[in-house]
Amino acid sequence: MKKLLLLALLIVINSYTTTLVLAQNYTNPDTTSSIVLSWEKNHPERQAWSKSLISDLDSHLTIFDEAKDITSFCPKYETLSHDQKLNMLGEMIVSVAHYESDW
């Protein structure tokens, strides 16, 4: 569990430090671009944050898939589609970030 939380924290930190670069260069037309995270509500400027975070999560998804305690966070994780997994993980990080920074 500690490894999963540490990885999530590292992804959040990495997302914030690279958001502008990734947002400017983001051209991936896949379905993950349709994922809308809760911090975007009434703040469309945060779409760049979401795209960056989802992109990072997507590139590390196998790590989360192999985590033995992932069902502690989401009991039905193993039955989720690819995009649903990204959405769940994104919302988990968004909720941590909310209390850390009150976005």
Q: Where are the domains of the chain?
A: 1-7+46-103
Query: Does residue 31 surpass a pLDDT of 70?
Result: no
Residue 10 confidence (pLDDT): 61
Q: Count the alpha carbons within 13 Å of 13 in the hemisphere toward its beta carbon.
A: 6
Distance CA 101, CA 25 (A): 26
Find the range with the poorest average confidence among 11-15, 35-39, 83-87, 94-98. Answer: 11-15
Residue 25 confidence (pLDDT): 44
Mean pLDDT of the chain: 81
